[in-house]
Structure 1
Amino acid sequence: MTGTSDPGQDPTRTEHLSGAGGPGFGTFRFWFDSQRWEWSPEVYIMHGYRPGVVEPTTELLLAHKHPEDRDQVAESIARSIREGQPFSSQHRFLDTAGDEHQVMIVSERILDAGGNAVGTRGYYIDLSEAIDNAERQTLDAVVPEVVEARAVIEQAKGVLILMYSITADQAFRLLTWRSQETGTELRDIAEALIAAVQKNPPTPPSSVAAFDRLLLGIHRQVPEES
């Protein structure tokens, strides 16, 4: 999308998205009955708008989605409404300047007093590489435990990589997001995640057998040295 004539565009968008203190995370709410969206200022800025100037709607959301991801996101929203489930997704969108963002949306249901799902709320997490690198440098400088506790953090990253099919940098970003959002030390988040995963039900035998075959034959996939 381009939007040079749109008065709702954020003239400081480039500064905000450069990683120098700019928003990498934002929050949202989506109400099923009215299909009304609420964005935090950070989500507006991610999309290139000044907060509050435009009304977020499903149509606006879909107009910004990458053409290859638009149908997937539309179906995720429809399923969320139809089944009362959280709106969670990994996809790309284009901001008002046409710059591409890769985001992960992590959410939960909003329940009324009777326990019925009336909406979903959660987080936009910008996984764009430029923001990842800048914020990682800041975190490495501010949070020395990241270096000291590298082993357990690497284990937790591996869990997220396997679960969400994301990169190592993106997995690190998710861990730091939970650390910042909850005010919990990064190392403690990683240790708790590993402990919780170890309590999960055993992996189905069919999956273990498939992985056994992969492990036993993995040497055949190692490129030969020239």
Structure 2
Amino acid sequence: MGSFRFYLDGQRWEWSDTVAHMRGYQPGEVTPTTEPLLSHKHPEDHPHLDRLITDAEPSSSKHRIIDTTGTIHQVVVVGDRLRDDTGAVIGTTGFYIDITDSHRNDVNDSVDETVVALEQSRAAIEQAKGVLMLVYGITADRAFDILTWRSQETNTRLRIIAERIVAAFGELAPGTGLRTRFDHLLLTAHQSVRRPQ
């Protein structure tokens, strides 16, 4: 799996070493631009790039990459809007998954399941970010940093942390001491939710 970023301003690309390898390049061997990216796309698959490049629209697709040796790779690309500090859309960010060695039927099922899981995961994370922004009066980026930190510190998936924060926050009664109670919630969100019997 490899990540990428595309900036509308200047049509600039950034890609990880893994994405470079998928195209047959060593890290730093070429400057990622739209031209070399398109040169490795299978001719029948070019339309899939339109939403990423022209509109920076969220998208997911399965298509083929032809690397520098002529080998065809089947890849899944998932992209979402890249925003600046003001919330304005400045490009696209996402990742590639090389699925060349997978069986076709399994791949179709896996892609569908992955997209559904990503959508559910994203919704939970966005809700948790909103809760953190409300309670602490912070930006979306800072809220995401906190979620990521808790995930790493507790070795718990980010989606699980987010879901538990949202669920537990819904049970907190409004009023004085909300911030203190939420602090405790944030510190214990990695633990299984236990309800009184």
Normalized against structure 2, the TM-score is what? 0.53
Q: How far apart are 1:122 and its partner, in Å?
A: 0.6
- Give the aligned partner of residue 115 of structure 1: 87
Aligned residues: 123
Q: How far apart are 1:83 and its partner, in Å?
A: 3.0
Question: Do the aligned partners of 1:127 and 1:170 also contact (CA within 8 Å) in 2?
Answer: no
Q: Give 1:62's match in structure 2, choosing from 32, 38, 59.
A: 38
Question: Do the aligned partners of 2:76 and 2:96 also contact (CA within 8 Å) in 1?
Answer: yes
The RMSD of aligned alpha carbons is: 3.2
Question: 1:71-82 residue pairs with structure 2 within 5 A?
Answer: 72-73=47-48, 76-77=49-50, 79-82=51-54
Task: Indicate whether 1:36 and 2:8 are aligned.
Answer: no
Q: Specify the code of the residue in structure 2 equivalent to 1:34.
A: G
Identity, % of aligned pairs?
A: 45
Q: Specify the code of the residue in structure 1 equivalent to 2:41.
A: K
Question: Do the aligned partners of 1:87 and 1:120 also contact (CA within 8 Å) in 2?
Answer: no
Question: Do the aligned partners of 2:4 and 2:15 also contact (CA within 8 Å) in 1?
Answer: yes
Question: Do the aligned partners of 1:84 and 1:117 also contact (CA within 8 Å) in 2?
Answer: yes
Q: How far apart are 1:91 and its partner, in Å?
A: 0.9
Task: Indicate whether 1:106 and 2:82 are aligned.
Answer: no
Gaps of 5+ in 2: 119-150, 164-197
Q: How far apart are 1:121 and its partner, in Å?
A: 0.7
Aligned to 1:98, what secondary structure does the other structure show? coil
Task: Indicate whether 1:88 and 2:60 are aligned.
Answer: yes
Q: How far apart are 1:44 and its partner, in Å?
A: 0.7
Question: Do the aligned partners of 2:6 and 2:53 also contact (CA within 8 Å) in 1?
Answer: no
Q: Give 2:27's match in structure 1, choosing from 42, 47, 51.
A: 51
Cα deviation code 1:192-216 (max 9, x no counterpart) = 9xxxxxxxxxxxxxxxxxxxxxxxx
Cα deviation code 1:135-155 (max 9, x no counterpart) = xxxxxxxxxxxxxxxxxxxxx
Question: Do the aligned partners of 2:80 and 2:94 also contact (CA within 8 Å) in 1?
Answer: yes
Question: 1:101-180 residue pairs with structure 2 within 5 A?
Answer: 101-129=73-101, 132=102, 167-169=105-107, 171-172=109-110, 175=114
- Give the aligned partner of residue 21 of structure 1: none
Cα deviation code 1:171-225 (max 9, x no counterpart) = 44775x97xxx8768xx99xx9xxxxxxxxxxxxxxxxxxxxxxxxxxxxxxxxx
Question: Do the aligned partners of 2:64 and 2:75 also contact (CA within 8 Å) in 1?
Answer: yes
CA gap of 1:184–1:95, structure 2 versus 1, over 3 A, is farther
CA gap of 1:184–1:126, structure 2 versus 1, over 3 A, is farther
Q: After TM superposition, which residue ranges in structure 1, 4 or more long, deviate above 6 angstroms?
A: 182-185
Distance 1:81 1:65 in 2: 14
Distance 2:53 2:68 in 1: 27
